[in-house]
Amino acid sequence: MKKIKEVIVVEGKDDTKRLALAVEADTLETNGSAISKETIAHIKQLQASRGVIVFTDPDFSGERIRKIISAEVPGVKHAFLGRKDGVPTKAGGSLGVEHASPAIIQAALANLYTERVEEAQLLINQSDLIRAGLLAGPASRQRRERLGELLKIGYVNGKQLPKRLQLFQIQPADFWAAVNQLPTEEIK
């Protein structure tokens, strides 16, 4: 089992239990999306001493936690779980890390992104996103979801997509290679 040096920030104890089946790592649980100042202080301390990987659920609360941590603790790493990878085996459960298989967790932790703190040149612009059928089209939501899976950056809405691509410095060649794997009948 692979040992991970960084501390993995997750939402709750069920996420910690599931990670233990996939990797050997220490976790810090946020206990929901209302992150306290004390938890942020712990994350800052851990980032300085060991490094931090944010691994939250692919839902609204998980993205909220990710944004709060990113704003408060520059330079953290991010692991993303695809929406289809965190689906419960039983109907009615919540979407999340606690439902992902060990293989999916290992793959997510093998594809980490680190935010770029400095202001960087815009690599992929709005017209690229429109041309790729990722904004304002009949299947744009599904295309963005699949693009997020291919690039391992998670799902984001149309407004957040350019920010996420910029944040993780997705290169145009990688972007277009992923776009070319999307169903072509939907590209206009």
Distance CA 28, CA 20 (A): 13
Domain positions in the chain = 7-114, 126-186
pLDDT band for position 186 (cuts 50, 70, 90): very low
Distance CA 106, CA 103 (A): 5
How far from 160 is each of 32, 39, 164, CA to CA, in Å? 22, 25, 6
Q: Would the pTM of this model clear 0.85, i.e. be above it?
A: no
CATH architecture entry for 7-114: 3-Layer(aba) Sandwich (3.40)
Token readout for 182 is 């999307």
Residue 116 · residue 139 · CB < 8 Å: no
Q: Choose between 128 and 168: higher pLDDT.
A: 128
Token readout for 171 is 């290169």
pLDDT band for position 77 (cuts 50, 70, 90): very high
pLDDT band for position 187 (cuts 50, 70, 90): very low
pLDDT tens, residue by residue, 139-168: 899 999 899 889 988 888 888 898 888 878
Element (H, E) at 52: strand 52-54
Residue 1 · residue 24 · CB < 8 Å: yes
Residue 92 has pLDDT above 80, yes or no: no
pLDDT tens, residue by residue, 3-32: 999 999 999 999 999 999 999 999 999 987
Distance CA 117, CA 76 (A): 10
Average pLDDT over the chain, rounded to an integer: 86
Distance CA 72, CA 94 (A): 27
Token readout for 149 is 């899976």
